Amino acid sequence: MQRTGIIGIWMISLLLLVATLTGCSGNSGQVGQQYASGKNEILVAQASAFATYKDVPVDFSPALEHYKVEPGLDNVTNKDMFRFSPESKQLLTENGFVVVPNQNYREFFMIYEINSYDPVPSFITTDSMLHNYHLFFNHLLRVTEKEKLATELKELTVAMLSASEKQYTTLKGSAWENAARRNLGFFAVAGKLLDPQMAVPAQVKQEVQAELRLIEKSAGIQNSPLMNMGQKLNTETLQEDYSQYIPRGHYATDKMLQSYFKAMMWYGRMTFRLKSEDETKSAVLMTLALGEGNNGQKWDKIYQPTKFFVGQADDLSYVQYQELLNKTYGSGAGLQDLTSGGKQWEAFIEAAAKLEPPVINSIPIYNEEIQPDREKEIKGFRFMGQRFTLDAAIFQRLVYRDVEENSQGERRMLPRSLDIPVALGSKEAYAILEAEGETQYEGYTDNMHKIQQYIDGLDKKTWTQNLYWGWLYTVEPLLQERGAGYPSFMQNQAWTRKDLNNLLASWTELKHDTILYAKQVYAEMGGGMIGVDDRGYVEPNPYLYARLAALVDMTREGLTSRELLAQQDRESLDRLEQLALSLKTISEKELNNVPLTDAEYELIRSYGGQLEHFWLEALGDTGVDHRSAIEDNPAALVADVATDPNGRVLEEATGHIFEIYAVIPVDGSLRVARGGVYSHYEFSWPLEDRLTDEKWHDLLDSGQAPSLAGWTKTYIAP
């Protein structure tokens, strides 16, 4: 009975949060309005969505006749072009496709360009198109940060440090002195991370230096010297995971972005807990300082673009505190009004206590025996809080303490990536986890059922509220079952698992690109030979290509509306959208059993050259101007997505591009076509050594990468 109550509470919380994010009221307009008022965005006139999501219509009715591959590939016209191992040939015969590991392909375009030279019919995969979007998403976020956000962050930090110094001078000797001093140190840490030459105020030099040492050492989970100043050290002490400050993703190799990463991580993770009156005083002083001059506008210039890319902050924010201060003290209240105490301060604390808590816990806390009230421990204000994401919310409800022990007394301290497709409705993903014992933890099945019910009820407005959610919405068609009328290679368990791998790998790229902002859960193209018929095939998934085209359009519109998109990038997005639309049309024709035009076959032949062009455009800002840079810029990447405070993190990674061979129907005969697919890895790793892309590349190239998931053996040949 107790567990049901807890689950009910968090589901209501999650539903209310989504209602807030989308402006929907759910089942109750009154309730929706009530909670939306607590999550209003800064500067309401500027808080409207960056862009609208415009549906791309899909029109097909699967009409392909079923076919079988004969033993020895006897009914395959071009079988002599390939040399398959016995295992590969068996899987190709049984499933109509096979994936073959290959360590030579560092990017998708390499396979397709080789196809055009051999020539071999190309099999254009959804994997390759999703990877294209990742390249541009990562590029556009990186350019926005370097050219816009980093400068705004420096200016905001200098302004907030100055305002905090003034507050400290005024409040020295009062009951608010320690809170003001904490803020002075808080902005000094960020300032020092952004500019090592900045002078640190003498009043906080010791604590600031201690914080910077912990950040520099990536010291793991430690008590925060600055946040705990003036408070007793005990189980109530705020702890921070300093391994989070290791620059990862696209931040690791650029000095400006390394500094930006660390400062934004500091601003995004440090919590001024509501349970501590002194920390709440700091949050109130910070809110007051943000209301001075154009500080709020500077904050908004950072928050709004990152919100469009990733999402809304999960913790209590400046906007909410400002609204409460206006209600309790009146609009325009000054420092003396706020620090006078009395009933108004008590009213503010009471009102703040009623604000919605974060859905995701991203700070280290003790287990429920020591700290039974998790909401009390984690609820608080963050200056530029990390963002709510659906996948992290799913993970939160499927690890300890939301699920308890299994029959062996083990706790689920880290989630599994397959939890995501299960939550999205994948029966195959659930069967895999069930076979591996992951569903046996007390509360897992019950929680997952409630998560599935919630997700099943989400509307399109929710799914397309920002680019992060839109990416998840784009990959969701990979989970749809393929029945009669689809190519035979898509109508089996092996293809279902191949699509699961695709989804997980694309999601890994999403986590990699947004690693700074997304809140992490704590558990606790070529020439060709004349006369060779190399007509290829597009993996027919019209819904995915349609959603991808819509997502690209939304990306372009949203960034253009804020003058964050260069003309060259706009042109690249135009071409990417058109390519997705063309692949949608081709796949519809394939499924409707309508012949392709010569121009459409030529598009398939030239696909490798188009991919190379997109790759060069997406990496141009990093200095890449020739394909020879592929060795230093492979597709492989890694991202840590969850933390076990006992010393491990869950790493998700993509490796080199694997070959896929599929038996495809063209003009009534069968042929083998070749393309590229993701490889995906999942493994735990020491917390203090969160992996960068460079370290992961070393592991891959030295043969030290972990094994692929066992369930991929149904379609990956040894």
Q: What is the pLDDT of residue 230?
A: 85
Q: Is 656 left (phi over 0), alpha (psi -120 to 50) or beta?
A: beta
User: Using an 8 Å Cβ cutoff, are 651 and 249 in contact?
Assistant: no
Q: What kind and span of H or E run contains 424?
A: none
**Residue with more model confidence, 1 or 242:** 242
pLDDT tens for 348-399 read: 999 999 998 888 777 666 565 656 556 667 789 999 999 999 999 999 999 9
Residue written as token pair 């699967």: 62
Q: What kind and span of H or E run contains 351?
A: helix 342-353
Q: What is the pLDDT of residue 15?
A: 43
Q: pTM of the predicted model, to two decimals? A: 0.91
**Residue with more model confidence, 627 or 34:** 627
Q: What is the pLDDT of residue 234?
A: 73
Confidence of residue 9 (pLDDT cuts 50, 70, 90): very low
| Predicted confidence (pLDDT) at residue 243 exceeds the cutoff of 70 | yes
Tokens for 8, please give them: 């009910």
Backbone angles phi, psi at 311, to 5 degrees: 145, -175
- The whole-chain average pLDDT of the chain stands at 89
Q: What is the pLDDT of residue 525?
A: 37
**Residue with more model confidence, 553 or 375:** 553
Provide the residue count of the chain: 718
| Predicted confidence (pLDDT) at residue 313 exceeds the cutoff of 60 | yes
Q: What is the pLDDT of residue 370?
A: 55
| Predicted confidence (pLDDT) at residue 236 exceeds the cutoff of 80 | no
Task: Flag the least confident range among 111-115, 366-370, 487-491, 536-540.
Answer: 366-370
| Predicted confidence (pLDDT) at residue 519 exceeds the cutoff of 90 | no
pLDDT tens for 113-156 read: 999 988 899 999 999 999 999 999 999 999 999 999 999 999 99
Task: Flag the least confident range among 34-38, 166-170, 634-638, 684-688.
Answer: 34-38
DSSP 3-state of 672: strand
User: Using an 8 Å Cβ cutoff, are 310 and 249 in contact?
Assistant: no
Task: Flag the least confident range among 257-271, 328-342, 368-382, 545-559.
Answer: 368-382
Q: What is the pLDDT of residue 373?
A: 55
pLDDT tens for 214-235 read: 999 998 899 999 999 988 777 6
Q: What is the pLDDT of residue 376?
A: 63
Around Cβ 637, how many Cβ atoms within 10 Å?
25
Mean pLDDT of 462-467: 95
Mean pLDDT of 44-73: 83
Give residue 67's identity as a one-letter amino acid code: Y
Mean pLDDT of 515-543: 77
Confidence of residue 18 (pLDDT cuts 50, 70, 90): very low
Q: Is 682 left (phi over 0), alpha (psi -120 to 50) or beta?
A: beta
Calculate the CA 653 to chain-centre distance.
13
Closest by alpha carbon to 506, among 248, 142, 130, 135?
Answer: 130
Q: What is the pLDDT of residue 47?
A: 36
Mean pLDDT of 50-75: 95
Mean pLDDT of 436-445: 96
| Predicted confidence (pLDDT) at residue 317 exceeds the cutoff of 60 | yes
Residue 69 to residue 661: CA distance in whole angstroms: 13
Q: What is the pLDDT of residue 669?
A: 95
Q: What is the pLDDT of residue 526?
A: 37
pLDDT over 90 percentage in the chain: 80
User: Using an 8 Å Cβ cutoff, are 208 and 188 in contact?
Assistant: yes
pLDDT over 70 percentage in the chain: 90
Q: What is the pLDDT of residue 27?
A: 28
User: Using an 8 Å Cβ cutoff, are 674 and 122 in contact?
Assistant: yes
Q: What kind and span of H or E run contains 677?
A: strand 669-677
Closest by alpha carbon to 527, among 23, 118, 126, 196?
Answer: 118
Residue 466 to residue 52: CA distance in whole angstroms: 9
Of the CA atoms within 13 Å of residue 4, those in its CB half-sphere come to 1
Q: What kind and span of H or E run contains 396?
A: helix 390-396
